[in-house]
Amino acid sequence: MTAPLPVTLADIRAAAERIAGRVRRTPMLADPRLPGVWLKQDYRQETGAFKLRGATNALLSLPPERLVRGVVTASTGNHGRALAHAARAAGVRAVVCLSHLVPANKVQAVRDLGAEVRITGQSQDEAMDEVARAVAGEGLTEVPPFDHPAVVAGQGTLGLEILDDLPAPAAVLVPLSGGGLAAGVATAVKALSPATRVIGVSMERGAAMAASLAAGRPVEVQEQATLADSLGGGIGLHNSVTFDMCRALLDDVVLVSEDEIAAAMRHIHAVTGDAVEGAAAVGHAALLSGRIAPVAGTVCLLSGANVAPATFARILEGQAA
């Protein structure tokens, strides 16, 4: 008998109530250059990325006695910023562990929100080692970036919003990294619109969840520099939530190249006037490259806009990186 998945539609609905008024309900825009394709603009969150949903739900789910000493996390940037924001709003100490691969603009954004930043190692996995030390040595409570039921449930509120605007989409294309976003969105979408295909999209350079799903178990993948830096990092060899959920709920996984991501970033800027990061553009990269056929009722989830200005300027000039 297959074990029940650790996050349910009821959990996601409870998360939506818990975070109401603390995160934005973001718009969905029809893409005038790709008929039938919709853009879910969650980069319009106050912290510039969807991560505010999961971080806020996880923090608000903790009992007061767990918050006294503070919270800690590892991040590729956006989750750390989200947790710092949620912790400041709640008056809680936050420590954010980042690797040396995290762009400087994202590091500074975390600091600007009052969190203590610790930079260590060359991968998110090494940053997570520092989290373990902080939990054991300082009594901080970990709020993981993805592999946690409350984080997944918070990200799943995006799925509820998508279905409010488009009740039966043909497909939802979700950026795939550690799997918190993909698992949460897929749970909501599959529960309410079972015929909708949910496809995880990642970059060709160091896509840990994609490699793990292909192997049938969590595996280590070397983290590499990529335009989709928010999708970097491992899923954890002892992953307990998102791997099983992604394996059970995703209909497909597609990988895209750096040139395809760059072209998609330019496309989204032309359509919206906004500068989104590479991780947010992977769905459009899959459509524009023909890796996924655009059909009416396709939703691309645009996850973040925290791209370094210099990087985006190079993209607009036609460079891939």
Of 69, 75, 41, whose CA–CA distance to 55 is shortest? 75
What's the predicted TM-score (pTM) here? 0.95
The predicted pLDDT at position 30 comes to 98
Is the pLDDT confidence value at 242 over 90? yes
Note the pLDDT tens digit of each residue in 12-23: 999 999 999 999
Distance, in Å, from the CA atom of 244 to the CA atom of 112, rounded to the nearest integer, reads 36
pLDDT reading at 321 higher than 80 = no
Q: Quick one: average pLDDT of 247-256?
A: 98
Contact 190, 196 (CB under 8 A): yes
Return phi, psi of residue 48, to 5°. 80, 10
pLDDT of residue 248: 98
Q: What is the CA angle 168-172-175, rounded to 5? A: 160
pLDDT greater than 70 at residue 36? yes
Residues contacting residue 321 through CB under 8 Å, at least 6 positions apart: 225, 227, 258, 262, 311, 314
Contact 151, 178 (CB under 8 A): no
The tokens describing 165, both together, are 């605007």
Which residues are 255's β-sheet partners? 202
Give the whole-angstrom CA distance, residue 297 versus residue 310.
34
Average pLDDT (18-36) is 97
Average pLDDT over all residues of the chain: 95
Indicate the pLDDT class of residue 101, thresholds 50, 70 and 90. confident
Which tens digits make up the pLDDT trace of 204-224? 999 999 999 999 999 999 989
Question: What pLDDT shows up at residue 1?
Answer: 53
Nearest alpha-carbon partner for 303 in 54, 7, 12, 3: 54
**CA 228 – CA 247 distance, rounded (Å):** 22
Which stretches does DSSP call E strand in the chain? Answer: 28-30, 37-41, 71-75, 94-98, 116-119, 141-142, 171-175, 197-203, 252-256, 298-302
Query: Which among 295, 288, 298, 200 has a CA at the least distance from the CA of 249?
Result: 200
Alpha carbons within 13 A on the beta-carbon side of 194: 1
Report, in this order, helix, strand and coil percent for the chain, each rounded to 5. Answer: 45, 15, 40
| Distance (Å, whole) CA 21 – CA 173 | 26
Q: What is the pLDDT of residues 128-144, one digit of tens each?
A: 899 999 999 999 999 99
Residue 146 sits at φ, ψ, to 5 deg, of -155, -40
Q: Encode pLDDT of 265-290 as tens digits.
A: 999 999 999 999 999 999 999 999 99
Rounded to whole angstroms, how far apart are CA atoms 105 and 95?
17
Question: What is the Cα–Cα distance from 292 to 257, expressed in whole angstroms?
Answer: 14
pLDDT per position as a tens digit, 74-96 = 998 899 999 999 999 999 999 99
Whole-number percent of the chain with pLDDT over 70: 99
Residue 87 half-sphere exposure toward CB, CA atoms < 13 A? 30
| 41 strand-pairing partners | 302
Q: What is the band of 148 on the pLDDT scale with cuts at 50, 70, 90? A: very high
Q: Give the number of residues written for the chain.
A: 321
Residue 286 has phi, psi (to 5 degrees) of -65, -35
Amino acid at 78: N
Cα R_g (the chain), whole angstroms: 18
pLDDT at 125: 82
Instruction: Determine the pLDDT at residue 124.
Output: 81
pLDDT of residue 320: 59
Round to whole Å and give the CA distance between 26 and 87: 22
Q: How far apart are CA 117 and CA 72, in angstroms?
A: 10
Instruction: Write down the pLDDT at residue 7.
Output: 98
What domains can be seen in the chain, in order of their start residue? 9-49+148-316 (3.40.50.1100), 52-142 (3.40.50.1100)
